[in-house]
Amino acid sequence: MHAVKRQMIMAITGALFLVSSTCFGAGIPDKVTIDSIQKYYSAVDFNHAAHINTLKDCGLCHHHTTGAQVNDPNCVRCHKNSGAQAVVSCKGCHAAEPFTPEALKRQRDQVPPIYHMDKVGLKGAYHLGCLGCHKKMGGPTGCQDCHKRNVSGDAIFHSNTYTPKSTNEPKQSHH
């Protein structure tokens, strides 16, 4: 684990010109348990270190927040030099409940009323980010490759122990 961390730090310093001290001061976790929106699936044990090793660009997931060089052409327009932010975690900015009346109002009223207007919710941020990249880079893409479905999940999907009776008949029969 220590080795991974060292490797990772070297990788980052190697790849980037600008690594703000805040980035390290906050302590980069090797592992992150993503458990804030579990309902039908179990938590995700996210290997942060391995992802850093592979990607070597914090901004691919963290946009302009880590203080590392900003490459996203969209972010760059305002955040070229805005430095490390106090909050870098996904859930720090992406709302777990993006569509409540309050959240919609916040989104509508924000200043300046542009760019962050169309910010996806937390679940969307995770999946669009993770799955989008996994598709491109050949990572796992099945739902249960990352998080096992729990019993309430099986129930709502009518799967496993909740499989409809009629399905148990040979499936090919219906052409």
Q: Least separation, in Å, of the C-beta of 2 and other proteins? A: 34
Q: Least separation, in Å, of the C-beta of 116 and other proteins? A: 12
Contact (CB, 8 A) for 53 and 7: yes
CB closer to other proteins, 18 vs 156: 156
Which residues in this chain contact other proteins in the complex, by CB under 8 A? 40, 74, 98-101, 104, 107-108, 117-118, 120-121, 123-124, 126-128, 131, 141, 143, 156-159, 162-164, 166-167, 171
Q: Least separation, in Å, of the C-beta of 41 and other proteins? A: 9
CB closer to other proteins, 13 vs 159: 159
Q: Least separation, in Å, of the C-beta of 141 and other proteins? A: 8
CB closer to other proteins, 21 vs 166: 166
